[in-house]
A and B are shown apart, each in its own frame.
Chain A
Amino acid sequence: MNAFIWTIAVVTVLGLLLALVLYLVAQRFKVEEDPRIDEVEKAMPGANCGGCGFAGCRAFAEAAVKAPNLDNNYCPVGGNDTMAKVAAILGYEVKAKAPMVAVVRCNGTCEARPKVNEYDGYASCYVKSLLYTGDTGCAYGCLGCGDCVAACQFGALSMDPVTGLPVVDQEKCTACGACTKACPKRIIELRPMGPRGMREFVSCVNKEKGPVAKKACANACIGCGICAKTCTHEAITVEGNVAYIDPAKCKLCRECEAMCPTGAIHGVNFPKPLDKDAVKERIKVRQQKAKEAAEAAKAAEAAKAAAEPVKKEATNE
């Protein structure tokens, strides 16, 4: 019994002593830190993906607390909800940003873009790109080894075994941008999600001239410029033999998609499938009308020019 009491006593005293030591040491080496850093960090998604441009959520929180406003600090993963929380903690204003999503700008499927040689090295797009332009005729398209899939921390990317191309799961994509950096060919772009997810984009980055591009891949953008001519919103530019749709200007009318001769323009999440013929007919009618209007205007101009002296005379009268 005595031993029992002694044991309890010794252990208790020892525990108290050690607690005191721990407390003193903690006090001695305490680092003064803005408590808001912890609060901000707690509000973050905690994925430490680096999508914001900082090393991780903690680094973001430190930077956000130091920054005079939140203009340069945005967490793409947490999105507007998280940023509202962060803004509330720090007392800043936050500008809501349109949600973004990763978009794969290559449609060089196995079928459309036949292989011309066989790659036998380490299955990494980066290693492959260091070695050569790739196992297809296209020097710009997807290399198909899945570096983007490996880079995605959110499981939003997967390789489609049929097409050999990466597929983005837009529900899981947080637009952190890791895949855009991992892709050595830079074919993945962050674009606004669009209303109800509807968006229109050119699924090709091939800068070769039309015939070369077409030879390598049936789905390539050949830089023909029909889309740019069709677009009534000046949203499409053709530069370096490849078209680009500016998401800020695009009105999702899908006319370019209907007109593209190679099917390089993709529209996703539209409620109805695209009736190409109807749209083409519509464009034709419109262009016909425009042509007629232009001719009419021209005729009117000519008539006006012809009538002018007469008119003058008439007025003089």
Chain B
Amino acid sequence: MSKHTFSIGGVHPHDSKISRECAIQPLPIAPTVYISVAQHIGAPSVPCVAVGDKVKVGQVIAQPGGFVGAFIHSSVSGTVKSIAPRADLAGRPSTHIEIAVEGDEWVDTIDRSETLVTAIPDDPKAIIDKVRLGGVVGLGGATFPTHVKLSPPPGSKCERVIINGCECEPYLTSDFRTLLEKGEQVVVGAVLLQKAMGGVPCTIAIEENKPEAIAHIREVIAKLGYKDMDVMVMKMMYPQGGEKQLIDAVMHRQVGSGALPISVGAVVQNVATALAVYDAVQKNKPIVDNSVTVTGECFPKQANLLVRVGTPLQYIIDFLGGIPADAAKVISGGPMMGRAIANLQAATVKGTGALLFLTEKQTRRAPETNCIRCGKCADACPMGLEPFLLNKLSKAQDWDACEANAAQDCIECGCCLYSCPAQIPLLDNIRVGKGAVLGAIRARAAAAKAAAEAAKK
């Protein structure tokens, strides 16, 4: 079995997939859910319900706030209690719609049966529209609205759909369980994506540490008789599931700085997103729930849960027996790119893929010492950057030099900090430089646009 991987850098953290044997089980619905209107990249959605309204599961409660935006549906049935600012994971207030749960009544149009619908709509536009109406966003972490990704700008052409089943982050197993348990749906979702992009071939990329999933998906593809679809076995290497890295590994094409994957003819969708596409198109079911891995060596009850969007994190944790005494950090997402949670009262969003508990020993940073110029960060960087240099430039606030050394290309995968023997907080500082450079690039673009318009007049 030949294994594929990206061409530059990468690290090998222990994969720690300790919850891999836990089947996905539905979490009982919380008494109250808080659904954020800003749970995707782009403009926040605009609430279209009022306090006191009765809502059903799957009912639209917020409209997209712009082209890059998404519908938000109620994940429960009940009464809207309030529409008010509430602290998110980081403690920052953003508008949440609070719904008091009453029963579990779904919108009639949603097909809740288990039957697999393999009939593919003829019109790609219809597929994309249903994806849009289903509020589907990229569930791999970035939560970019999927219908926007499926509507490439004029002049660019998609040549291959890649379904990202790498799940290269340690600990996470929700995509693996989805592949095993909902393999048929994921494959049909992939076919829908192929159709939406104009009948291009499709590759389902899965890391070698999930042999069961690889075998199962191969079986499903053979059973359903799809020709233009293959499973590619990826080498176990972080960040194999990074969009640019995956395209490099699968198609041997590198997406340029600041460019979109479509510029090299690729559209990458996560496994969970493919499932959401299937649900939205074939079953009329918008995103109202998603699977969340709850794990960590110190956490006694490993689980993969199907959680309604907007469930308070504390409710999930309490359901599994509360925070263990020796847990020092709770992370939303994986240990490499996830976000440490400061506020356990925060609610889940569509993109919440995992809750990870780490002990003090596992996660506390050791004191920073001198750089020994070993170059391990540069070896590890999958974007071919020089983190030690960017760290220095960023601290000196030399934004021009940061840009010249491509700080804006950083994908924040964390490989540099992970591998630094001197524990220098490389990524912490590079993020600052990246932000400043991206700001400068945007300002330049805006100025150029304004100048062009002025010249037109």
Where the two chains meet, the residues of A that have a C-beta atom closer than 8 Å to any C-beta of B are 116-117, 120-122, 124, 126-127, 130-135, 139
Contact = CB atoms under 8 A, between A and B. Distances in A.
5 contacts: A117-B342, A120-B363, A124-B429, A127-B428, A130-B435
Contacts of A127: 425, 428-429, 431-432
Interface of B: 87, 89-93, 329, 340, 342, 363-365, 425, 428-429, 431-432, 435
Given A120-B364, A139-B91, A139-B92, A133 B425 contact: no
Contacts of B91: 132-134, 139
Nearest to B329: A120
A122 B90 contact: no
A132 B431 CA distance: 14
A122 B435 contact: no
A133 B90 contact: yes
Contact of B432 (A116, A126, A139): A126
A130 to B, nearest CB: 6
B402 to A, nearest CB: 14
Contacts, number: 42
Contacts of A133: 87, 90-92, 342
Contact of B428 (A117, A122, A132): A122
Given A132-B90, A133-B92, A134-B91, A121 B428 contact: yes
Most buried by A among B89, B365, B428: B428
A121 B340 CA distance: 11
A130 B432 contact: yes
B306 to A, nearest CB: 28
A127 B431 CA distance: 8
Contact of A132 (B92, B93, B365, B435): B92
Nearest to A127: B428
B450 to A, nearest CB: 24
A234 to B, nearest CB: 32
Contacts of A124: 428-429, 432
Contacts of B432: 124, 126-127, 130
4 interchain residue pairs of minimum CB distance: A133-B91, A132-B90, A122-B425, A122-B428
Nearest to B93: A139
Contacts of B363: 120
Nearest to A130: B431
Contacts of B89: 132
A139 to B, nearest CB: 6
A124 B364 CA distance: 17
A122 B433 CA distance: 14
Contacts of B340: 131-132
Nearest to A138: B91
Nearest to B89: A132
Given A132-B90, A139-B92, A120 B365 contact: yes
Nearest to B431: A130
Nearest to B424: A122
A127 B436 CA distance: 12
Nearest to B90: A132
A14 B243 CA distance: 67
A132 B332 CA distance: 14
Contact of A131 (B90, B93, B365): B90
A116 B93 CA distance: 17
A130 B329 CA distance: 18
Given A117-B342, A124-B432, A127-B432, 9 more contacts: A116-B342, A120-B329, A120-B363, A121-B425, A121-B428, A126-B432, A131-B90, A132-B91, A134-B91
